[in-house]
Structures are given as C-alpha cells and as structure tokens.
C-alpha cells in the first residue's frame, strides 16, 4: 500500500456552513431572556443603615442573622416584620422556639390587627408533622420547609395576593423527621441527619424559589430573614472557626449574613436601668458586622443597641433612655428620674 501525495498548491474549497439562527435555537430549547425587577431593599431603620452600611435587607433573598444566644438577634427579625407590614408586605413569622415576644413586637410598631401570619411549633406539628407520622410530638425541619413551599405555591396560584416576608426564629432549633422517628423508638440519632435535612429542605427554597420572585413575570415577591445560633469550633482551621447550630446550609444559601456579638464568646454589654435596688433591662449593646455580602460587596461593622423598641445607635443611648425612662421604670413599679442609674455589664460568657 502506498500513500497519495496531496498537492498543497491546489486550492482548498471552503466548507459551506449551514445557516444558523440563535433565535431559533433558543426557541427550540425554550430559552428566553427574562428581565428581573431592580434590586430593592426592605428598610431596617436608621441605626441599621448607619452601622451595616446598607439600606436594609435585600428583597427576594435570604438574610441570615447569626450569633450566640442573648445577643439581640431576634430584634433584627422583628424589625423586618415591622418594616414588611408598614410597607404593605405580609410578614410571616415562623416561631420554631415558641419564644416570640408579642409586647416586644408591639413596642417596635407591629400591629397584630393588620395582616400577618404567625405559626409556631404546634401549628407546624398539627398541620404537617402528624400527617407524616401521627406519633410525632415535635415539629420538624421538613414541616417548616413544606409550609414555606405552600405559601410560595399560593402566591404563584394567585391565592395569596401579597408580597411576603418570611421571618424565621430560628434555624437549627428543630430536628428532622428521621431524628424524631429515632427518638420515638428510643434509638440514637445522628447529628448529621439534621444537617442533611436542612440542606435538602431549604436549598431549593432559598437558591431557587425565593430568588425567582424577582423576575418581572412574577406578580409577587418573597423575602426571608432568619436567625441562627452559632458555636466556636476551636479545633478547626488552626485558629478556630464559627459553626452554625443545625448545620451550614443556611449559611451557604444566604446572600447577606449579619454577625451579632463576639466570635468566641457573647461579647456584648447588657445595659440596665436601676432604681431603689430594682433592675430593668434597657437593651443589649453588641458589635455587629457584615460577615457575608453577595449582594453589594459592602462590609461594614459597628455597634447596635437591641431594645424592646427596636435597633438604636450607641451614640443615641442617652437620648433613648430619656425618651423611654418612664416606660422602663414602670416595668419595675417605679417612676421619676431621681436616683436612676445606668449600669453597663460586659458579658463575655460562652454558650452553654
């Protein structure tokens, strides 16, 4: 067998390309360029804006407020609920710890006579958990997820004709159904079950369904803010790493994360009012910083005073005390501004 020598000098004929239409290609695969609504923010008040450097929390995204217990995290969630209501959006409070303080919300401006939804663990258990297993005595991670899916479904079907703000307090405080089943049978549970359920249940909600409400084709928006407790893993990363109770999935899917308090300890100041040896709390002064921002890349930090009346700047502490002294003293059966002392107690305790 021999080889044929090709004469390079001969002119090569170009291969004729088929006509191509990108429009036809996109139509075939049903791909369309859908516009999204401009980025907007749910206002969180002047103190938040000055310290965090943002107008509020981003609509159509999840904002996570993390920190140790008793650092003032819930006040951020309450502020979002109040703002949502005042801006014509439906606040949906998901109370997984049965710890909502109605008087706290009311003092901040929340009106329980105006549209809102409040669900606690008993509601979730009766309407979701027991449908899965009638023997369950606790609500589960899956119950929260299914309720949220139902709300989003109702929006899409035009059964719920309002923008919504999910206010979750908190992530990581519920077990998954697999763990609850093990408890019912007096069997040992694996902590990773809850972490896996958190990821499975919430990844689709916070990565897909809620962000998709920003599309122009969607009539209504959905926004979420949630609280999650932390713990410090001193053995990880050489210098230690902040971990999130219940797993890392909320951290992964949140577009904005606000860290309240210290890293290794609570790191807050408890501000009290005293008179005649009686004590009442004015608020908790905590360092606050943006731990993650995939919305605008801004990273600020400062201090915020969490009070029963909302978020307050440290520089406004004395003015706040003056304006609310009578209400604060009435809580301990006192009145008048004589012999009143402001006591600041540093709390560097670790999470129990």
Q: Over the stretch 250-305, which tens digit does the pLDDT of each residue have? A: 999 999 999 999 999 999 999 999 999 999 999 999 999 999 999 987 878 999 99
Q: Which residues pair with 36 in a beta bridge?
A: 215
CA quadruple 198, 199, 203, 205: dihedral, nearest 10: -20
Q: Where are the alpha helices (DSSP H) in the chain?
A: 22-28, 46-52, 73-86, 102-108, 121-124, 130-132, 141-156, 177-184, 191-204, 210-212, 249-253, 317-330
Q: State the DSSP H helix or E strand holding residue 66, giving kind and residue range, or none if neither.
A: strand 62-67
Say what the pLDDT of residue 18 is: 79
Query: What are the distances in angstroms from CA 306 to CA 268, 282, 300?
Result: 11, 9, 18
Contacts of residue 103, defined as CB under 8 A and 6 or more positions apart, other chains included, come to 308
Cis-peptide, bond into residue 226, ω within 30° of zero: no
φ/ψ (deg, to 5) at 146: -65, -40
SS3 (DSSP) at 178: helix
The domains of the chain, with CATH numbers, are 39-264+286-303 (3.40.50.300)
Q: What is the pLDDT along the chain (352 residues), one digit of tens a residue?
A: 455 555 555 566 777 777 888 888 888 888 888 789 999 999 999 999 999 999 999 999 999 999 999 999 999 999 999 999 999 999 999 999 999 989 999 999 999 999 999 999 999 999 999 999 999 999 999 999 999 999 999 999 999 999 999 999 999 999 999 999 999 888 988 889 999 999 999 999 999 999 999 999 999 999 999 999 999 999 887 789 999 999 999 999 999 999 999 999 999 999 999 999 999 999 999 999 999 999 987 878 999 999 999 999 999 999 999 999 999 999 999 999 899 999 999 999 987 6
Cα 300 from Cα 287, distance rounded (Å): 11
Cα 104 from Cα 88, distance rounded (Å): 21
Say what the pLDDT of residue 227 is: 97
Identify the residue whose tokens are 């105006």.
114
Buried b (16+ CB within 10 A) or exposed e, 131-160: eeeeebebbbbbbbbbbbeebbeebeeeeb
């Amino acid at each position: 067998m021999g080889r044929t020598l090709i004469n390079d000098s001969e002119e090569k004929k170009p291969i004729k390309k088929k006509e191509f239409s990108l429009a036809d290609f996109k139509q075939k695969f049903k791909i369309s360029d859908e516009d999204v609504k401009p980025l907007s923010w749910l206002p969180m008040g002047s103190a938040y804006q000055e310290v965090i450097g943002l107008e509020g929390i981003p609509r159509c995204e999840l904002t996570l407020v993390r920190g140790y217990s008793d650092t003032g995290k819930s006040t951020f969630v309450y502020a979002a609920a109040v703002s949502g209501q005042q801006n014509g959006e439906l606040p949906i409070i998901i109370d997984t710890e049965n710890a909502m303080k109605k008087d706290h919300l009311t003092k901040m401006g929340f009106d329980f006579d105006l549209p809102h939804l409040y669900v606690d663990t008993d509601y979730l258990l009766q309407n979701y958990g027991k449908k899965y297993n009638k023997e369950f005595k606790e609500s589960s991670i899956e119950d929260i997820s299914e309720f949220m899916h139902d709300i989003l479904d109702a929006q899409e079907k035009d059964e719920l004709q309002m923008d919504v703000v999910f206010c979750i307090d908190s992530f990581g405080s519920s077990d998954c159904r697999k763990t609850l089943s093990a408890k019912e049978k007096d069997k040992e549970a694996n902590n990773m079950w809850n972490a896996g359920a958190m990821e499975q249940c919430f990844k689709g909600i916070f990565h897909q369904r809620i962000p998709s409400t920003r599309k122009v084709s969607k009539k209504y928006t959905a926004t979420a803010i949630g609280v999650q407790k932390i713990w410090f893993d001193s053995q990880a990363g050489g210098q230690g790493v902040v971990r999130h109770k219940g797993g890392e999935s909320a951290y992964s899917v949140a577009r904005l994360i606000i860290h309240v308090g210290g890293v290794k300890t609570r790191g807050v100041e408890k501000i009290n009012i005293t008179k005649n040896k009686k004590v009442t709390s004015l608020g908790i002064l905590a360092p606050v910083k943006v731990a993650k921002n995939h919305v605008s890349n801004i990273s600020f930090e400062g201090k915020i005073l969490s009070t029963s009346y909302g978020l307050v700047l440290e520089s406004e502490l004395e003015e706040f005390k003056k304006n609310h002294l009578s209400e604060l003293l009435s809580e301990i059966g006192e009145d008048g501004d004589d012999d009143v002392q402001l006591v600041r107690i540093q709390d560097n305790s670790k999470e129990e």
